[in-house]
Structure 1
Amino acid sequence: MFREITTGSAIISVLAVVLALVVGAVMIAFTNKDVQASAGYFFSRPGDLLAAIWNAVSGAYSALFQGSIYNFRRPSFAAGIKPLTETLTFATPLIMAGLGVALGFRVGMFNIGGRGQMLIAAALGGWVGFAVDLPAGLHLIVALVVGILGGALWGGLVGVLKARTGAHEVITTIMLNYVAFYLVSYLLREGFLKTPGSNNPKSPATKVTAVFPDLLGPNYILHFGFILAILATIFTWWLLSRSNLGFQFRAVGLNPNAARVAGISVKRMYVYAMMLSGGLIGLAGINQVLGTTTSGFGAGLDSGIGFDAITVALLGRSKPWGVFWAGILFGAFKAGGFSMQAAEGVPIDIVLVVQSLIVLFIAAPPLVRAIFRLPEPGAGRRTTQVNVTQEVAAK
């Protein structure tokens, strides 16, 4: 059991986070002014340097915890748990978009068009949210469905181009990101997304009938979008693990040539996969409009979520529940990073460096295994086979 754990892929993700936090601690210590000052007289009073390093690192990570999980300085439990709700709110679009990227990975496609798919979903669903009059409940559902369909169509366009012309999805998604950005920017200035009587490139506020309801009341920012993130995770897990379509997706991702010989339409799977991937990422876009930026949105709506989703999908090993927990981790980094900066003066860039290091270590499993002296995958099986062979030969 121990060998199975230490040779699995999940342990690499966990240790990658640990290594990134260790390197982040070193950077926090180097950038701290008290550490720099005490280093000048290290040989006369070495204890001061060690104490300064401890205070800098422990203070920064304590602020990260209190800004993302629970703040012990608050007078009540209801107030202390507020950072966790902020973490879950930040994590919600990351989970949704990460699921879309992960689904593409499982089919062998690299969807880095999250920005464009989020913008198109926000533009179409957002227009329904502020321009259409419908009863409460129905209005929200229609805006949500239109946003998801917008992301699905924008992603499906990539699948059609790959299936029909062989165009690589990395190139087409990058180009469609620019197309979506400048198209939405134009619509915010001159088109149907423009706020009447305003020169500010920002859409009108979403109507109350289309806004996600709060989950814990008006004192918390956590909204219904987090429930949708859980449902999206369950749906993606069922799709990939329990459905016939998911089996075909995985077969194409493992070996498209073998899948084609087995009678699977590889081109059709590319289109379906990109539509579903775009729909999940579009869900992240409409989540921002109906749940987070209800006062109106601009062309910078995605806030880097489309690219952060790639990191979340990698950390989650392209598995739905792995993506879910990875999204919560990165949501905690986002929520706690501001607390680190405000309470301890730690640059917010440190959090970005930690996130980047996580990706670096995940992309280099042999490095992680070498640092922690973990056995190589299959090493135990080879040893067992050799022993069995020797015993048979001896008999």
Structure 2
Amino acid sequence: MQPAVEPPSRWRQTFTEIIGGSVMISILAVVLAMVAGGILIALTDENVQKASAYFFARPGDTFAEIWKAVSGAYVALFQGAVINPNRPDFVQQIKPITETLTFATPLIAAGLGVGLAFRVGMFNIGGRGQMLIAAACAGWVGFTLHLPWGLHMVLAVIAGLVGGGIWGGIAGFLKARTGAHEVIVTIMLNYIAFYLVSFLLRTPVLQAPGSNNPKSPPIDATAVFPDLLGPQFNLHFGFVLVILATVFVWWLLNRSSLGFKFRAVGINPNAARVAGINVKNMYVYAMVISGALVGLAGVSQVLGTVTTGFSSGIDAGIGFDAITVALLGRSKPWGIFIAGILFGAFKAGGFAMQASQGIPIDIVLVVQSLIVLFIAAPPLIRTVFRLPDPAKPKKPKAPKMPVAAANREAVAK
């Protein structure tokens, strides 16, 4: 008779899920990318290269220079992104964290849009086009209509959300009605939006009067996002809007019937169709909401960051960075929120690292790219850090048989 096999305890199962789950994979992907970035910093540092020339004579010098280069770079990154105690007053010391949140604002908004599309099984690669259309709509309302404070800002935000939603909805409509792949459609819409906005910036519709440059007039003060912490900081009301947007997306996906349909379609559209869900409509609704959220990133740029007038480069690559943010956040609203702040810290700290240490800003871009690479390969992370796979739990070990019982069984055989 085989002895009964004891199942693993609930606490052991929970521990396995935590250390092998998606959250831990994302954290360790960032850690591994930072380690790889440190190796690149060491390899490209001139002092390290000089010390390595006589490595076998004095190896300590090489290791000291490696530590000096890597630690100096990451300390500068931290001081440029979180807090810099070396500055003279408290306002200047905490300014880096406000810069991080300012950079993170459009990244979070766009990441929420991309992540929402991911949850429905769609790839919204059209962030650039949706941001440009939203920025053009919000900017046109911002410098053309002269309305009281508050009302003007609200109308400009709504115009931007509507513009981004319509531009994203085109891809959803074409997928639902014609079967066109949303990746191809959104990429093509990026080009259409870019050249359309570039054209409008050379016409009286968007171009500043009396200017030969393809740039819009400045936004009226009544439509500009107010500063959250005063004029000495760049953090504006757009950050509050992305917090509200994060709460809205969380509620939509986890507490609403529409969100349940979105998740059902994302898991298995065929099963959702059999259950009575109109899958085609879900594609359209998802892309409209996704485009509006990405459009919020364009709105925050034109009404909060670049208020002196915008050009066709106002998207600043945020539409593509949002894909990375959504992947790092596992397409979950609060995960995207944290990932957006992390990438905002990379942007803010990267400039400080370049200014103080002479480290190329491209190193930060390499780290961001490596994060995506490692997130896309969970088995690699589990192998490097020897993490268990929750999907393949270890077989519980059979309890040891007492010696007396084992002897009796042997005699019986």
For the aligned pair, the TM-score class normalised by the smaller chain equals: over 0.9
Q: 1:6 offset after TM fit, Å?
A: 1.5
Q: Distance in 1 between matches of 2:325 and 2:63?
A: 35
Aligned counterpart for 1:159 among listed residues 172, 185, 210: 172
Q: Distance in 1 between matches of 2:306 and 2:53?
A: 48
Letter in 1 for 2:395: T
Task: Write the mapping of 1:123-162 to structure 2, written as runs, cut at 5 A.
Answer: 123-162=136-175
Specify the alignment match of 1:383 in structure 2. Answer: 395
Q: Distance in 2 between matches of 1:376 and 1:63?
A: 36
Specify the alignment match of 2:123 in structure 1. Answer: 110
Q: Distance in 1 between matches of 2:52 and 2:207?
A: 56
Q: In the TM superposition, what whole-angstrom CA distance separates every residue of 1:299-320 from its partner, at most 9, and x where no partner exists?
A: 0110000000000000000000
Q: In the TM superposition, what whole-angstrom CA distance separates every residue of 1:291-345 from its partner, at most 9, and x where no partner exists?
A: 0000000001100000000000000000000000000000000000011111001
SS of 1:264's equivalent in the other structure is coil
2:308 is the alignment partner of 1:295: yes
Q: 1:196 offset after TM fit, Å?
A: 0.9
Q: In the TM superposition, what whole-angstrom CA distance separates every residue of 1:275-305 from its partner, at most 9, and x where no partner exists?
A: 0000000000011000000000000110000
SS of 2:201's equivalent in the other structure is helix
Q: 1:7 offset after TM fit, Å?
A: 2.0
2:245 is the alignment partner of 1:232: yes
Q: Distance in 2 between matches of 1:7 and 1:372?
A: 10
2:233 is the alignment partner of 1:220: yes
Q: 1:387 offset after TM fit, Å?
A: 5.4
Larger Rg: 2
Aligned counterpart for 1:275 among listed residues 288, 306, 312: 288
Q: Distance in 2 between matches of 1:336 and 1:378?
A: 37
Q: Distance in 1 between matches of 2:206 and 2:391?
A: 56
Q: In the TM superposition, what whole-angstrom CA distance separates every residue of 1:154-196 from its partner, at most 9, and x where no partner exists?
A: 0011110000000000000000000000000000012400111
Specify the alignment match of 1:47 in structure 2. Answer: 60
Q: 1:77 offset after TM fit, Å?
A: 2.2
Task: Write the mapping of 1:31-110 to structure 2, written as runs, cut at 5 A.
Answer: 31-110=44-123
Q: Distance in 2 between matches of 1:160 and 1:28?
A: 47
> CA contact under 8 A between 1:7 and 1:378: conserved in structure 2?
no
Q: 1:377 offset after TM fit, Å?
A: 2.0
Q: Distance in 2 between matches of 1:46 and 1:160?
A: 63
TM-score, normalised on structure 1? 0.97
Q: Distance in 2 between matches of 1:296 and 1:340?
A: 29
Specify the alignment match of 1:315 in structure 2. Answer: 328
Specify the alignment match of 1:369 in structure 2. Answer: 382
Q: Distance in 2 between matches of 1:267 and 1:185?
A: 33
Aligned counterpart for 2:357 among listed residues 340, 344, 365: 344
Q: Distance in 1 between matches of 2:398 and 2:30?
A: 36
Q: Distance in 2 between matches of 1:378 and 1:149?
A: 42
Which runs of 5 or more residues in structure 2 are unaligned? 1-13, 402-408
> CA contact under 8 A between 1:121 and 1:286: conserved in structure 2?
yes
Specify the alignment match of 2:264 in structure 1. Answer: 251
Specify the alignment match of 2:6 in structure 1. Answer: none
Q: Distance in 2 between matches of 1:116 and 1:87?
A: 24
Specify the alignment match of 2:224 in structure 1. Answer: 211
Q: Distance in 2 between matches of 1:230 and 1:363?
A: 27
Specify the alignment match of 1:326 in structure 2. Answer: 339
Between the two proteins, the alignment pairs up a number of residues equal to 388
Q: Distance in 1 between matches of 2:391 and 2:176?
A: 36
Q: In the TM superposition, what whole-angstrom CA distance separates every residue of 1:199-250 from its partner, at most 9, and x where no partner exists?
A: 1000000000000000000000000000011000000000000000000000
Specify the alignment match of 1:121 in structure 2. Answer: 134
Aligned counterpart for 1:28 among listed residues 37, 41, 62: 41
Q: Distance in 1 between matches of 2:101 and 2:224?
A: 18
TM-score, normalised on structure 2? 0.92
Letter in 2 for 1:142: L
Q: Distance in 2 between matches of 1:18 and 1:191?
A: 50
Structure number with the higher helix fraction is 1
Aligned counterpart for 1:10 among listed residues 1, 23, 27: 23
